Chain A
Amino acid sequence: MTTPQKPLPQATPETQEYWDGLQRGELRVQRCRACNRHYFYPRPFCPHPGCHSRDVEWTTASGKGKLHSYVIAHRAHPAFASPYVIAVVTLDEGPKMMTNILIEDPTPQTLPAGAPVEIVYETVNEKVTLPKFRLV
């Protein structure tokens, strides 16, 4: 039996700046210069329907947002201590991203949808820092 390992990301050329930013303690998110909207995940063009411009730039996001939706996972990945919260947060800049909410003994009552959250940079190793969030 091998011990289950937590899956870790491997950057690709178009996402490298995002992962490098997290190592520095910055949440790097791209913005479209044509429609002025941020988007996530990184790619070299705007994914918004009706825009799809290739004129995009990197910005540093505030790391603040709101809890959009989540599950409290009781039976999921074997390397994670259950229960844990798999969440999608809406950044103040607009995009949504998946994360974990760091909270002791998560319950539906302590995790109201819409609650304000902020980023916690969780360093895993010399290459990977993960963007986790906590309730403000």
Chain B
Amino acid sequence: MPDSRSLRRKVAIVGAAETDTVGHLPNHSTLQLHAESAFNALADCGLTLDDVDGIATAGVSPAQLTEYLGIMPRYVDGTSVGGCSFLIHVSHAVAAIAAGYADVVLVTHGESGRSRIGVGGGAGGASTIGGQFEAPFGVFGPPSMFSVPIVQYMQRYGLTEEQLAAVSVSTRQWASLNPRALMRDPITVEDVLNSRVIAWPLHLLNCCLVTDGGGALVLVSEERARDFPKPPVWVLGRGESVQHTNISQMWDYTEWTAAAKITGPEAFRMAGLDHSAIDHLMLYDAFSHTPIYALEALGFTSAGEAGPWFAEMRGAPGGALPVNTNGGGLSYTHTGMYGMFAIQEAVRQLRKEATGRQINDIETSLVHAPGGWFSATATLILGNQ
């Protein structure tokens, strides 16, 4: 039987970059954000679009992207399951490169989340499952869907609004160290609780930003990984799953089941590491509760302990296990499908490029993200050794 452990450290990220700036980019279309990210990531490793023979993207179709870029790859991954799609693209690229389906895989993200330039689509139809069983009750976007489980979690574990607020405070402390972060002014628990209510128990400062931007990655095999200007960032472990699209159908409101049962265990097993070997966490923070669910589902705390963990500032600057060192979706940037930016920060930390907030002696980083509202789940463990 094939075993994912045979793919540990077989593929590396050798190019990684974001758009020149992130935040408010009203002069960039969605596809332009993809392209700028792609050019920057390829420049980061000294390659060009003509070297790319594998493509992966979400939000736009891979065919739209290849038409726009003018390339014809021999490997394609259009997995589009929300913000964790790019983690899944990395996961798939590892297998594809190891299998010889492609030599150079380019993963791109671009989203005009704030300016809405070149954005298609619209709401789902009235006869979809969501159109019949959720939309009539006034759910409207992530703040009123992702948030629905929280009260049951509070009831079970005693999570407080103050602990939820502490996640935002901790993350803002990191953002204040990152010149590219959109929101850098320090905040307090009281500031969060005094910000206007969006969907109780969530206040405005419990919610991620809405921005424009993009990012891209270039992956190659172990054999080629040392031929590039910057040190390789190895993919050590991965896990992925999907469960629901409608929040009312989430299996358990008090735990992130897919992370606890599938993506975390698979990533750790493949990497051959235990929790004590993880130096850095990027836990996609669409809202304050998302990292709380992630931290305990992944086994870094026991059930119900992640709220107090954040309130004790253990993930903040100076804490034992740094979490979301770029400032996260809450304070750095959040285009809509933020997972790409979580990977980018892990790469920066592992390359020792995170000026002003660099973690000393870092060898590993775990990146974890949802798609939708706990709908899809993916975990990556990356390393620089």
Docked Cα-Cα span, A86 to B151, in Å, equals 12
Instruction: Determine if B248 and A96 form an interchain contact, defined as CB atoms under 8 angstroms apart.
Output: yes
Q: Which of A8, A70, A76, A128 contacts B140 (CB 8 A)?
A: A76
User: For the complex, is B149 an interface residue (Cβ under 8 Å from A)?
Assistant: yes
Instruction: Determine if A76 and B149 form an interchain contact, defined as CB atoms under 8 angstroms apart.
Output: no
Which residues of chain B are within 8 angstroms of A70 by Cβ–Cβ distance? 148, 151
User: For the complex, is B129 an interface residue (Cβ under 8 Å from A)?
Assistant: yes
Binary B-proximity of A79-93 (CB < 8 A = 1, otherwise 0): 110011011100000
Docked Cα-Cα span, A7 to B128, in Å, equals 12
A-B contact count (CB 8 A): 123
Instruction: Determine if A69 and B148 form an interchain contact, defined as CB atoms under 8 angstroms apart.
Output: yes
Chain A interface SS verdict (over half): loop
Least Cβ distance of A94 to chain B in Å? 13
Question: For residue B154, which residue of chain A has the nearest CB?
Answer: A113
Question: For residue A130, which residue of chain B has the nearest CB?
Answer: B136
User: For the complex, is A10 an interface residue (Cβ under 8 Å from B)?
Assistant: yes
Q: Which of A41, A74, A88 contacts B129 (CB 8 A)?
A: A41
User: For the complex, is B277 an interface residue (Cβ under 8 Å from A)?
Assistant: no
Interface residues on B, range: 35 or more
User: For the complex, is B196 an interface residue (Cβ under 8 Å from A)?
Assistant: yes
Instruction: Determine if A88 and B127 form an interchain contact, defined as CB atoms under 8 angstroms apart.
Output: no
Docked Cα-Cα span, A26 to B253, in Å, equals 28
User: For the complex, is A6 an interface residue (Cβ under 8 Å from B)?
Assistant: yes
Known contacts: A97-B248, A113-B155. The answer to whether A7 contacts B148 by CB under 8 A is no
Shortest beta-carbon contacts, A-B, top 4: A69-B152, A10-B126, A113-B155, A9-B132
Instruction: Enumerate chain A interface residues (CB-CB to B < 8 A).
Output: 6-12, 15, 19, 41, 68-80, 83-84, 86-88, 96-100, 108, 113-114, 128, 130
Q: 19 A-B Cβ contacts within 8 A?
A: A7-B123, A7-B131, A7-B135, A8-B126, A11-B127, A69-B151, A71-B148, A71-B199, A71-B201, A75-B196, A75-B197, A76-B144, A77-B139, A83-B197, A88-B248, A98-B133, A98-B134, A98-B148, A98-B248
Known: A6-B136, A73-B144. 7 other contacts (CB 8 A): A7-B131, A11-B132, A71-B200, A72-B199, A76-B138, A83-B197, A86-B148
